[in-house]
Structure 1
Amino acid sequence: MRHGLTRWSPSSVSAWDPVEEISRMQNRLSEMFGETERGTWMELDTLRPLVDVKEEDNDIVVKTDLPGVNKDDVDINIKGDRIWITANTHRESEEEKEGYSMKERSFKRFARSFSLPANVTEEGAKAKLEDGVLTVTLPKSELEEKQKIMIE
C-alpha cells in the first residue's frame, strides 16, 4: 500500500453525508453572493423564482413567476425595504387502468426575500396573480428627513 492511501471500508464511506455536503455548499454560495438567510437541507426543494423590480414614480413594482399556484397559497410580507414572498402548490393525480392503479403527488414551495430600492408601506399595496405571474405594487413610504445630531 502506498503512503497516503487507505484501504476502503464501508465505515469510512458511510461517514460522508451527501445531503450535508450539499447544504454546506449552498451555505458557502449564499455567503459568497450576499444572501443573509440560511436554510437547512429541507429547503433544497424550495424554488427561488426570479423577480423583476421596477421603481416607478411613487411605487415599487415587483413581478415574479409562480406557475400553478393559487392566490390563496401565496404569502407576501414587507417590513421597511424588505419583502418576503412564499407560495406552496400541491397536486395529486390518480389513474386506474386495467391491471394497475397509479397515484402521483407533487409539492412545490416557492420562497424569495430581498431588499427593495426604497422603503415601502403596506397601506395602498396591491397584489395580483394572473396567468402564473404575481405582480405586487407597493407605495413608497414617506421617510422623515434625517436630523443631524450635534456633538457636545
Structure 2
Amino acid sequence: MRWPAKRSFSGPSRWDPFEEIRRTQERLNQLFEDFMPMEEWGGGKVYTPAIDIKEEEDKLLVTTDLPGINKEDVEINLKEDMLEISAKTGKEKESEEEGYLRKERSYTQFYRAVRLPTSVKEEGSTAKIENGVLTISLPKARIEEPTKKIQIE
C-alpha cells in the first residue's frame, strides 16, 4: 500500500530568530554539560570536573580544572588506590536599589573520585593550584616482594 504524500497548506515557513537563539542556547548548554557535568544537590550545583592522569616512571601526575577556586577551599584525600578531590566556593552579592536591600548567595561544589592505576604513597605527594588548574604529584609505591626460591624435586 502506498501512502499519499503529505501536503502543507500553511505556506512557506518563516525564520524565527528567537527560536534560533533558543536552539543555540540549548546546544551551548549541552556543550558545557558535556565538558563539566553538574548535578543539583542540596540547593547548589555540584560539578564533576574532568581529570587527567599521566603515569610517569616514578610517579602519577593528576590534573583537573577548578576555575575560581582558592587552595584553601580544596580538599584532597587518598584512600588506598582512590583519589578524592572536593572543593567548595561561595559568592555573596549585596545591592540596594530604591530602598530595597537585596542579598544573593551562590555556592558551587566540585567533587571527583577516581581509582588510580597503581599504588601510590602519601609521603612525598605534592599539590598546587595555579590559574584554576590543580596538579597533584603522587609518588608510586614500590612494593618489593622477596625473591622466593622453588626447589626442584
Tell me if both proteins adopt one fold, taking TM over 0.5 as the criterion.
yes
Match of 1:89? 89
Match of 2:67? 67
Amino acid across the alignment from 1:73: D
Change (3 A) 1:100 1:44: closer
Farther off after superposition, 98-107 or 48-57: 98-107
Amino acid across the alignment from 1:47: Y
How many residues are matched? 111
Q: Percent identity?
A: 50
Show structure 1 runs of 5+ residues with no match.
Answer: 1-40
Change (3 A) 1:112 1:123: same
Report how far residue 81 of structure 1 moved.
1.8
In the aligned structure 1, how far is the partner of 2:121 from the partner of 2:81? 9
Amino acid across the alignment from 2:126: K
SS in 2 for 1:72: helix
Per-residue deviation, residues 53-83 of structure 1 (Å, max 9, x unmatched)? 1111211011111111111111101122210
Match of 2:120? 120
SS in 1 for 2:72: helix
Higher helix share: 1
Show structure 2 runs of 5+ residues with no match.
Answer: 1-40
Using the size of structure 1 for normalisation, the TM-score is 0.64
Q: Which of the pair has more CA radius of gyration?
A: 2
Using the size of structure 2 for normalisation, the TM-score is 0.64
Q: Which structure 2 residues correspond to residues 1-152 of structure 1 after superposition, within 5 A?
A: 42=42, 45-145=45-145
